[in-house]
Amino acid sequence: MSTPVQDGRWRPTLDRPALVALLLGLAGVGYRLVLTLLTLPASNSDEATFGLAAMHIAAGRDRPVFLYGQHYMGMLESYLAAPLIGLAGPSWPVLRLPLLALYALFVWLMYRLTRRLCSPWFAVLVVGLLALGSERVVRDQLTVVGGRPEVKPAVVAMLLIAVALAERRVRHRWLATGLFGLAAGLALWSDWLIVPYLAVAGLLLVWAAPRDLVGWPGVLLVAGFVLGVSPMIKDNLVAPDGQDSLSVFREISTKAGPAPPWSDRLRGGLLEGVPLASGLCPMDGCARWQQWFGLLYPLLLVAAALLALVAYRRAGRRADRVRAVAQLALVAGAALTLLAYVRSPLAATDPLGNSRYLSVLQISLPAVLWPIWLAAARAWRGVAGTAGRLGGAVAAAALVALTATALAATGFFVADAGSLRAEERHTRGLADAVRGAGLREVYGDYWTCNRLIFNTGEAVVCGVLDGSLTPGQNRYPAYWKRVGRADRPGYVLAVGSSAERGLRRLLGDRADAAVVAEVGGYRVYHPETAVRPWR
């Protein structure tokens, strides 16, 4: 919003909805800033791998394109964190700060998009819901595990650019098309799961501003896309057969074995995945009373599509038609994403662990909730009949229930934060114990190794073993080689694990004498001679 002042210039001001949205957005950012400083949610070895890559980038040692050991998850988050780690050194809050900025950008862009397509006060509601955060939602927003934190603001920015181009509100149109292509390329490199939204955003651009795709603007669009996706293109050109991104992603998506029935996949996707991704449930699963939004979600998509079609047919101005088509794009993006998810067996076999792949549905939140808001607003204004007022009351109750459920899930996460903090303290204590024992090369399991390396700033390196004391998933081979060259490596193993039992059998009577520390459910062993049973 802008208002004229006495000197004739225009200065930005905030109307009441914008001010309320700003306060809610600041509350959401402040909440996540506290969590970032406290390292909540707790770190893990996947996140540590991104942190180690950021350390290597900052030191000029490496320029990774994909996550170490993979060929499909882009490393943009590591590049964003590298300058901060280079200045302040490795730590979890420093690693996560760029993601906090991406969250703030996403909320601001969502407010702009929702206000443009729908209404100001509805945009306030959307910002308020995005400010809340269960553990599942916050984990997707603040933990550096690739993809989702950066692709969501990229897609929303693309939609805003397409709408602005269609409404002739852009002064530098060539620059806008170039930025659209750059955002699409970076998003595709970062996470392939965003492809449905990239497709609908591209179709919206083609429909809304076809003249801006001819000539130099089209060239800049393609150039921006190629620049954004160039790391992936370069890597795939030199990748061995079967190791290119498409082949690896196809292999992951088509695991062998009997496919679960559609009923199980729909149940896992709708009753568990959608509520979890929407921030309505704790990490350990959804209670029956928290699953209602998952049942309602497909109906809301249908209602939103019908509303957009009706609005398009009734639109007298081009701007109204553009907004209706943009809403259809949001509906299509959510529907395609949900369909791709329920097609996967993982929707049935592990809905809790894989609901994170639905976090991009937040992009479509304005379209999904718009039918409920309209019904409630019509009843509030008294322009509906008896049936309309009854439906409006039900819609208003649904919005209240959605907000209350999300608020309750946020509260549960805050209440359980103590146990997560204890886990993080144990991992740091373990790192201190390993260093205090004078160890610099150790073996451990996957979920111990890279987190231990990051917590020690690579002062300690760790080689990954599986439960049978054979080589496991070593994402960065240099660590495994260094530990393999050590004359007397240590072991960091969970108490009572199969790996620890195997080591104690190998050590025999020397097992207890080899223990140099025990911290947080782990024992640190330093045998007198190297123990490598796989050789």
pLDDT tens sequence across 340-349: 999 989 899 9
Same domain, yes or no, for 22 and 158? yes
What pLDDT score does 319 carry? Answer: 87
What pLDDT score does 3 carry? Answer: 53
Contact 378, 394 (CB under 8 A): no
Within-domain flag for 4: no
Same domain, yes or no, for 446 and 502? yes
pLDDT of 383 strictly over 80 = no
**Angle at CA 476, nearest 5°, toward 82 and 517?**
95
pLDDT of 390 strictly over 90 = no
Mean pLDDT for 516-531 is 95
Mean pLDDT for 186-190 is 96
What pLDDT score does 253 carry? Answer: 62
Q: Please tell me the least confidently modeled range out of 83-92, 233-242, 361-370, 391-400.
A: 233-242
Strand runs (DSSP E) across 394-448, as ranges? 441-444
Question: Residue 244's CB: how many other CB atoms inside 10 A?
Answer: 18
Please write the tens of the pLDDT for every residue from 251-303: 666 655 678 999 999 999 999 999 999 999 999 889 998 999 999 999 999 99
Q: Which amino acid is at 339?
A: L
Same domain, yes or no, for 319 and 463? no
Three-state secondary structure along 26-82?
A: HHHHHHHHHHHHCCCCCCCHHHHHHHHHHHHHHCCCCCCCECCCCCCCECHHHHHHH
Same domain, yes or no, for 192 and 219? yes
Average pLDDT, the chain: 92
Q: Which amino acid is at 165?
A: L
The secondary structure of residue 475, as a DSSP letter, is S
pLDDT of 380 strictly over 60 = yes
More confident residue, 250 or 534: 534
Contact 443, 491 (CB under 8 A): yes
Please write the tens of the pLDDT for every residue from 192-246: 899 999 999 999 999 999 988 888 889 999 999 999 999 999 888 888 877 777 7
What pLDDT score does 165 carry? Answer: 94
The share of the chain scoring above pLDDT 90, in percent, equals: 79
Within-domain flag for 424: no
Question: Residue 385's CB: how many other CB atoms inside 10 A?
Answer: 10
pTM of the shown model: 0.94
Same domain, yes or no, for 328 and 207? yes
Of the ranges 9-18, 67-76, 308-317, 322-331, the best mean pLDDT one: 322-331
Round to whole Å and give the CA distance between 204 and 184: 13
Within-domain flag for 534: no
Mean pLDDT for 139-160 is 95
What pLDDT score does 273 carry? Answer: 96
Using DSSP's 3-state secondary structure scheme, residue 465 falls into: strand
Contact 339, 298 (CB under 8 A): no
What pLDDT score does 12 carry? Answer: 60
What pLDDT score does 164 carry? Answer: 95
Same domain, yes or no, for 35 and 168? yes
What pLDDT score does 381 carry? Answer: 74
Within-domain flag for 247: no
Same domain, yes or no, for 100 and 71? no
Round to whole Å and give the CA distance between 151 and 191: 7
pLDDT of 25 strictly over 70 = yes
Contact 475, 450 (CB under 8 A): yes
What pLDDT score does 346 carry? Answer: 87
Split at pLDDT 50, 70, 90, the class of 183 is very high
Using DSSP's 3-state secondary structure scheme, residue 485 falls into: helix
Question: Residue 196's CB: how many other CB atoms inside 10 A?
Answer: 19
Give the end of a domain, one of 90, 123, 156: 90
Same domain, yes or no, for 50 and 121? no
Q: Which amino acid is at 429?
A: G
Mean pLDDT for 24-34 is 98
Backbone angles phi, psi at 421, to 5 degrees: -65, -40
Round to whole Å and give the CA distance between 192 and 73: 8
Q: Which amino acid is at 363?
A: I
More confident residue, 250 or 68: 68
Within-domain flag for 6: no
Same domain, yes or no, for 34 and 52? no
Round to whole Å and give the CA distance between 484 and 411: 47
The closest of 231, 79, 68, 51 to 144, measured between CA atoms, is 51
pLDDT of 400 strictly over 60 = yes
Contact 65, 75 (CB under 8 A): yes
In total, how many domains does the chain have?
A: 3
Residue 263: exposure state from Cβ atoms within 10 A (0-12, 13-18, ≥19): exposed
The closest of 150, 152, 151, 172 to 161, measured between CA atoms, is 172
Q: Which residue(s) pair with 492 in the sheet?
A: 444, 524
Mean pLDDT for 57-62 is 96
The closest of 295, 296, 368, 358 to 330, measured between CA atoms, is 368
Which residues constitute the domain of residue 509?
438-525
Split at pLDDT 50, 70, 90, the class of 392 is confident
Mean pLDDT for 420-424 is 91
Mean pLDDT for 43-48 is 96
Within-domain flag for 357: yes
Same domain, yes or no, for 472 and 345? no
**Which region, left, alpha or beta, applies to residue 502 given φ > 0 means left and ψ of -120 to 50 means alpha?**
alpha
What pLDDT score does 9 carry? Answer: 58
Cα–Cα distance list, 24 to 16, 229, 404 (Å): 12, 35, 16
> Cα(first)–Cα(last) distance of the chain, in Å?
70
Same domain, yes or no, for 216 and 310? yes
More confident residue, 296 or 2: 296
Within-domain flag for 244: no
Within-domain flag for 258: no
Same domain, yes or no, for 298 and 221? yes
Residue 239: exposure state from Cβ atoms within 10 A (0-12, 13-18, ≥19): middle
The secondary structure of residue 272, as a DSSP letter, is I
Split at pLDDT 50, 70, 90, the class of 430 is very high
Residue 308: exposure state from Cβ atoms within 10 A (0-12, 13-18, ≥19): buried
